Structure 1
Amino acid sequence: MLYNDPHRWGFTFQANAQMSLAKLHQQPAKAPVKVMERSIYSARYCFVENLYKNKILQPVEYEILKDCFEVLVSNDSCHLDLIVYLRTSPETCLERIKTRNRPEEHSITLDYLYQLHECHEQWLSSETRTMKTPVLIIDADQTREHVYSETNTHLINLASC
């Protein structure tokens, strides 16, 4: 839906994503470390920003999503101890998307992935980031085994703190 008609579904998709991610953040951890593939923060600072920058979101929709985000994170229930950024080139992302072969992802373009990559780089850059959460950057253009090993090493260290 979103990729085929972003002007129609961009706001609806992101509003739903924010609520779903906030609920995941607020669930109690069942282990010493809770790992999430995406967070309400990446939704806000990457996906919402990209939709707005590309004039897919109307200014009022953008403001509504920003306000909802602020309310959802204001009580610290969406606290992060660490952001693990699996930095991957847009080309590698596109290769992996094609390998996954999910029908809903067939219309994702390399240009779109470049835009999201730039949003992530800008959001997580130490010069522009307003969040105090530390960022661990892992080169995810490497093999799956290398990425798992690198990530697990850091998560084990975090859990033992």
Structure 2
Amino acid sequence: MGVDIKDSFHLEDTTNVLYEGVNEITLEATSGISLRCGGNVATVDSSGIFFKTPNYVKNSGENGVDGTEVGVEGEVINTRITNMYDTFISKVIDEKVILQADTTLKEGRSVEATLFILDKDENILAQETQTTQVHNNKIKQEYNLEQIIKSNDLLIEKIYELDGELVW
């Protein structure tokens, strides 16, 4: 069996079961290979083997990977800015906006959420950082956009885009 696809490869199985009866499978990539199941990821690249999981269990024979090497707390994915109706926005000015993301970080983990207001050249016109916590595998921080605009004396015409950053 062979598959040769330039730049990327995505395999999706609609039956939820994929079985290949072979003795060995070799996957080659120029920058790395990742296997993902839920929030757990195993990645092999030129610098080594990395596991991203909150539940790493060292049960490998031959004294495999040392559990202390697995230091990833979790990941933050699908970072987005929405309005109060959970509609994705990047350029629409609503009074209140929410910077949010899905995460595998532990419940209650503290996260710094920063909202950026940008001009058309992606220069930062204003920013506000608040601390929030992970709740039910989500990060959410609400901002009063109208208040940020007023406190920074911004002209609505100069505002081009909203962006966000989450740091933990």
Larger helix percent: 1
Larger strand percent: 2
| Greater RCO (Cα-Cα under 8 Å, separation 6 or more) | 1
Task: Give your verdict on TM over 0.5.
Answer: no
Larger radius of gyration: 2
TM-score, normalisation: structure 2: 0.23
TM-score, normalisation: structure 1: 0.24
